[in-house]
């Protein structure tokens, strides 16, 4: 089956790309049980009747409703756990809360149990030693995750070491409206995009890198890969010299677009939802998504026209896993562990990829590790993604990893100083 082959290709790519991160790869001998618990049964027992405070980005009602429904009801019915999903405008708000509590000396009974997290936010909390763990390889469904793969075991190059557990996978690519443009007119790399922008003034914009603008930062990194001629040199530790060499050219490249951007590049949409709204109202011709289901989730939520389709450039489409982490001062660690485990359950994974959920992100588990029945279910869900999704083969061909965590705040600050404020 074509789709299955592509899925395998993606997995292989994630595996091979991981060589770039190859450092001291002695996998830690996993603990048998999560720290502080006698057994998984003990976890289940202690979790019953408690609440889990899950802090996650709340900017999409569809995802909010999906999480409450898809996980909340199961947690309640099967485990007796109440899900308290706490929406935050940006993950960094949750990080800030945890840091503030630490500053106030609150080592127990904090506000936050679990955060939907990755990248530099994970790095911040790891550095501050505010995460509970290691637990990620002690939960039952962790056997379904390919922890050998560096793509999973390293988050922005930072070793996970069991302090967070994956939820789903994502890859940044684009959306266009097939009723407005035909597939032949689509740009397929950044130089073609530059030409397109010049030919269609005011019809393109990107998300502003910065808080809440995670996808904007990622987009700018993709342009940086293009400008510097490759992504492999950016793997591994943060290289300030390399950055100093290429960033001026990056800013020049982006500034050259400015006169022909939407609003002449004086302002940019703050997040992907604002961009989607501009796209839906016909102010610009491209939107962005990270969902494996492509344009599907937005369409299902009624946010963009049904003729929207996803597509990718030929190269430099950054993808990664996203995770959940448990706080050191979390009041409900048992419930959090149960939730993290539930996220990896094959039926839940097969469900979250569907566009109707509004979520549509990819799998975090390895389909080669599940039972035959589950494998069929996962394959079917993947095959049913519909027209809104981009071609999986193209996505896997264009895959590139993200950079070291230091890159996030540096690029965000420098973009603001060198592009926005110029």
Partner 1 sequence: MVERHRGTPDIKSILRYLLLGIMGLAFTAPMIAFLLNAFARQWFFPQLLPQTWTLEAWERLLSGRSEFVQALGNSALIASVVTLVALILGLPAARVMGLYRFRGKRVIEFLLLLPAVVPPLAVSMGLTVNFLRWGLAGTWVGVALVHLVPVLPYVVLILSGTFASYDVSHEAQARSLGAKPLAVFRYITLPMIFPGVVVAGLFAFLISWSQYLLTLLVGGGRVMTLPILLFSSASGSNNTTIAVQALMFTAPTLLLLLFTSRVLSRNALTGLARL
Partner 2 sequence: MSSESNPSRWHIAILLAPAVIVLLVLFGGGLIYSLLQSLGWQPLIGQTRLSLDAYTNLLFSPDYAEVFWSGLAFSLWVSGLSTVISAILAVAIALLIYQTARGIRLWTFLFQFNLPVPHLVAAVGMLFLLSQSGLISRGTVALGLTSTPADFPILVRDTAGLGIIIAYVWKETPFIGVIVLGVLRSMSDSYDPAARNLGANGWQRFRYILLPLITPSLLSSSLIVFAFTFGAYEIPALLGVRFPRGLPVTALRLFTDADLNARSEAMALSLLITLMTSLVIVVYLWLRGIAERLT
User: Which residues here bind partner 1, judged by CB under 8 A?
Assistant: 53, 55, 58-62, 64-65, 68, 72, 85-89, 93-94, 97, 100-101, 103-106, 111, 212, 270-271, 273-274, 276-277, 280-283, 301-303, 305
Q: Which is closer to partner 2, CB of 263 or CB of 369?
A: 263
Cα gap 253→419, rounded to integer Å: 10
From the number of C-beta atoms within 10 Å of its C-beta (0-12, 13-18, 19+), residue 24 rates as: exposed
β pairing state of 82-88 and 51-57: parallel
Question: In this complex, which beta carbon is closest to partner 2, that of residue 35 or of residue 282?
Answer: 282
Q: Is 303 or 419 the residue whose CB approaches partner 1 more closely? A: 303
d(CA 195, CA 294): 25
**Rounded-to-integer distance, Cα 363 and Cα 370, Å:** 12
Is 34 or 269 the residue whose CB approaches partner 2 more closely?
269
- Angle separating helix axes 40-47 and 333-343, nearest 10 degrees: 110
- Of 77 and 103, nearer to partner 2 (C-beta) is 103
Nearer to partner 2, 123 or 225 (CB): 123
| DSSP conformation letters of 338-383 | HHHHHHTSHHHHHHHTSGGGT---B--S-GGGS-HHHHHHHHHHHH
Cα–Cα distance, 53 to 82 (Å, whole number): 9
Question: Is residue 151 a contact partner of residue 375, using CB atoms and an 8 Å limit?
Answer: no
d(Cα 276, Cα 278) in Å, to the nearest integer? 5
Provide the binding-site residues for partner 2, judged by CB under 8 A.
92-93, 95-96, 99, 102-103, 120-121, 124, 202, 208, 210-211, 263, 266-268, 270, 277-278, 281-283, 409, 416, 420-421
Q: How far is CA 213 from the centre of its chain?
A: 12
Smallest distance from partner 2 to CB 5, Å:
41
- Among partner 2, partner 1, none, the one that 421 touches (CB under a kind-dependent 5 to 8 A) is partner 2
Least distance to partner 1, CB of residue 110, Å: 9
To the nearest whole angstrom, how small is the minimum distance from the Cβ of residue 299 to partner 1?
A: 10
Give which of partner 1, partner 2, none residue 60 binds (C-beta under 5 to 8 Å, depending on kind): partner 1
Which of partner 1, partner 2, none does 416 bind, CB closer than 5 to 8 A by kind?
A: partner 2
Which one, 104 or 244, has the nearer CB to partner 1?
104
Residue 303 contacts which entry, partner 1, partner 2, none (Cβ below 5-8 A, type-dependent): partner 1
Q: How far apart are CA 83 and CA 52, in angstroms?
A: 5
267 binds, among partner 1, partner 2, none (CB under 5 to 8 A by kind): partner 2
């Amino acid at each position: 089956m074509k789709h299955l082959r592509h899925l395998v290709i993606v997995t292989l790519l994630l595996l091979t790309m991981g060589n770039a991160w190859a450092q001291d790869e002695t996998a830690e001998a996993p603990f048998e049980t999560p720290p502080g618990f006698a057994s998984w049964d003990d976890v289940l027992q202690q979790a019953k009747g408690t609440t889990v405070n899950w802090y996650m980005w709340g900017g999409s009602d569809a995802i909010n409703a999906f999480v409450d429904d898809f996980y909340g009801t199961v947690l309640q019915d099967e485990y007796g756990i109440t899900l308290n999903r706490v929406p935050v405008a940006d993950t960094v708000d949750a990080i800030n809360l945890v840091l503030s509590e630490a500053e106030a000396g609150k080592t127990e009974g904090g506000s936050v149990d679990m955060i939907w997290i990755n990248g530099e936010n994970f790095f911040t909390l790891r550095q501050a030693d505010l995460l509970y763990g290691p637990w990620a390889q002690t939960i039952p469904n962790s056997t379904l995750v390919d922890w050998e793969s560096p793509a999973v075991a390293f988050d922005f190059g930072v070793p996970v070491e069991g302090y967070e557990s994956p939820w789903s996978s994502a890859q940044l690519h684009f959306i266009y409206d097939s009723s407005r443009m035909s597939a032949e007119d689509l740009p397929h790399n950044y130089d073609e995009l530059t030409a397109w922008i010049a030919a269609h003034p005011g019809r393109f914009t990107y998300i502003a890198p910065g808080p809440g603008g995670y996808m904007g930062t990622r987009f700018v990194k993709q342009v940086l890969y293009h400008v510097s001629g490759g992504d492999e040199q950016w793997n591994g530790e943060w290289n300030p010299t390399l950055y100093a060499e290429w960033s001026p050219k990056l800013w020049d490249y982006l500034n050259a677009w400015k006169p022909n951007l939407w609003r002449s590049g004086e302002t940019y949409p703050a997040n992907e939802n604002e961009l989607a709204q501009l796209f839906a109202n016909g102010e610009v011709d491209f939107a962005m998504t990270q969902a494996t289901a492509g344009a599907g989730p937005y369409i299902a939520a009624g946010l963009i026209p049904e003729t929207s389709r996803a597509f990718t450039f030929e190269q430099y489409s950054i993808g990664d896993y996203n995770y959940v982490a448990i706080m050191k001062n979390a009041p409900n660690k048992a419930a959090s562990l149960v939730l993290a485990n539930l996220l990896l359950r094959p039926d839940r994974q097969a469900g979250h990829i569907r566009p109707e959920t509004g979520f549509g992100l990819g799998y975090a588990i390895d389909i080669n590790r599940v039972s035959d029945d589950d494998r069929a279910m996962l394959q079917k869900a993947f095959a049913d993604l519909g027209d809104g999704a981009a071609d999986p083969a193209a996505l896997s061909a264009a895959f590139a990893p993200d950079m070291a965590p230091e890159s996030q705040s540096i690029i965000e600050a420098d973009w603001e100083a060198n592009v926005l404020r110029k």
